[in-house]
Structure 1
Amino acid sequence: MTTALPSRTTPPAAPPAETRRLQLVGDAGLDGTTSPAAPRLVSYLVLVPEGTDLGDLFAKDGPRPEIRPVGAMAPAAAPRIGDGAVQVDPARRVAEVDGRQLDLTYLEFALLAHLVRHPHQVHTRERLVAAVWGYDHVGDGRTVDVHIARLRRKLGAAHRHTIVTVRRVGYKYVPDRQSPGAIPRHRP
């Protein structure tokens, strides 16, 4: 089945007022002519503050402000999240417990990072599926239960209690507030 779009019978509307001040810098020479033998140029959209003199910005031998593509900007260092015992470094995708690096799958890491990022907050199974697996994931809450069980096993006996089951609702992360070397409390 194909769908045809109606043809435009009215002329296009005038551009919005804020775009009328934009200038197009093309591949035309200084005299306004183009050369068919000239190499193809790559186009960039450069946003500059109003009042910037484009002649100074693109002067051949003059000093220029630094211009970088947005994708080339150095990302801000993401801080480590977590309490003293459980640490998650999202930038390096590393999780540690008491300084020991955990061997986590992609989804286990995402689940632990989500829980640690939101301590003491109760998350329903559906909310965890949406946040970690994505809205298009087809499955039930049992998937979350299995991953939580694996996470608890990998956290070890001393820290498995930090992921608390909220009966008939879901799970929450409760950071360890104990001093290092203290005997862990057992929670149901």
Structure 2
Amino acid sequence: MTTALPAAFPAPAIRRSPALRLQLVGDHPAVVPAPGAHGGRVGYLVFLPADVDPVALMKSHGVRPEVHPLEPGTLRVPDPERAPRPGPVHCDEVIKVDRDRRLVEVDGRELELTYLEFDLLSHFVAHPYTVHARESLISEIWGYGHIGDGRTVDVHVARLRRKLGPAHRGRISTVRRVGYKYLPDHA
């Protein structure tokens, strides 16, 4: 069934200056900051072409840019000692993880895992007996920019346990109010 679209209304005339590409809004009344906040500032995400210098653009509009260098230790660099090694990881006789081929075998049967389930199980197997906080798992497995909470980890661990089966689901142990750990010798 087709329906005729209503006649187009004339668009209101918007006066745009071809030279003005960025409009900065300011001079609003000061906002009382929340406790622990650093002033009544609002941040904006502005996308610019790669060849545009943001500092020069701000100065051309009469805005004094504030540049705050990162403090040491704010960016987390992955520790190569803790990273799972490429190649087969044999933590125990039951679960075998082959990172090169992205395969997991449990008691000789291959598991069908999603991308994140594989990375999560591979991480657990590579670091047995280590307690992993939910937040650290999110940053290590999901990545730096992931927006989510600990519940995301809980859902993926539940799916992993289901796929491991009743005989091996206890190998991923819950550490209450913290996270999870992998126990390779769990019977």
Alignment of 1:67-82 (within 5 A): 78-82=87-91
Partner of 2:173: 164
Q: Structure 1 CA distance, aligned partners of 2:86 and 2:175?
A: 34
Task: Give SS of 1:80's match.
Answer: strand
**1:34-183 aligned within 5 A:** 78-176=87-185
Q: Distance in 2 between matches of 1:142 and 1:129?
A: 10
Contact 1:82 1:117 in 2 (8 A): yes
Give the TM-score, by structure 1 length: 0.54
How far apart are the structure 1 equivalents of 2:152 and 2:127? 20
1:99-153 per-residue CA deviation (whole Å, 9 max, x = no partner) reads 1100000000000000110000000000000111001000000000000000000
Paired amino acid for 2:105: E
Q: What does the per-residue CA deviation read over 1:11-56, in whole Å, with 9 as the maximum and x for residues that have no partner?
A: xxxxxxxxxxxxxxxxxxxxxxxxxxxxxxxxxxxxxxxxxxxxxx
Residue 77 of structure 1: how far off its partner (Å): 6.8
State the shift of 1:81 in Å: 3.1
Q: Find the aligned partners of 1:176 and 1:155 in 2 and give their Cα distance.
A: 14
Q: In 2, Cα distance between the equivalents of 1:99 and 1:108?
A: 19
Give structure 1 stretches of 5+ with no counterpart. 6-75, 178-183
CA gap of 1:99–1:124, structure 2 versus 1, over 3 A, is same
Q: Which consecutive segments of 4 or more residues in structure 1 shift more than 3 A?
A: 1-5
Which ranges of structure 2 fall in alignment gaps of 5 or more residues? 1-21, 23-51, 58-84
Structure 1 residues 77 and 165, CA, compared in 2 at 3 Å: closer, same or farther? closer
Q: How many residues align?
A: 108
AA aligned to 1:84 is E
Identity %: 62
- Residues 85 and 176 in structure 1, CA contact (< 8 A), matched pair in contact too: no
CA RMSD of aligned residues (A): 2.0
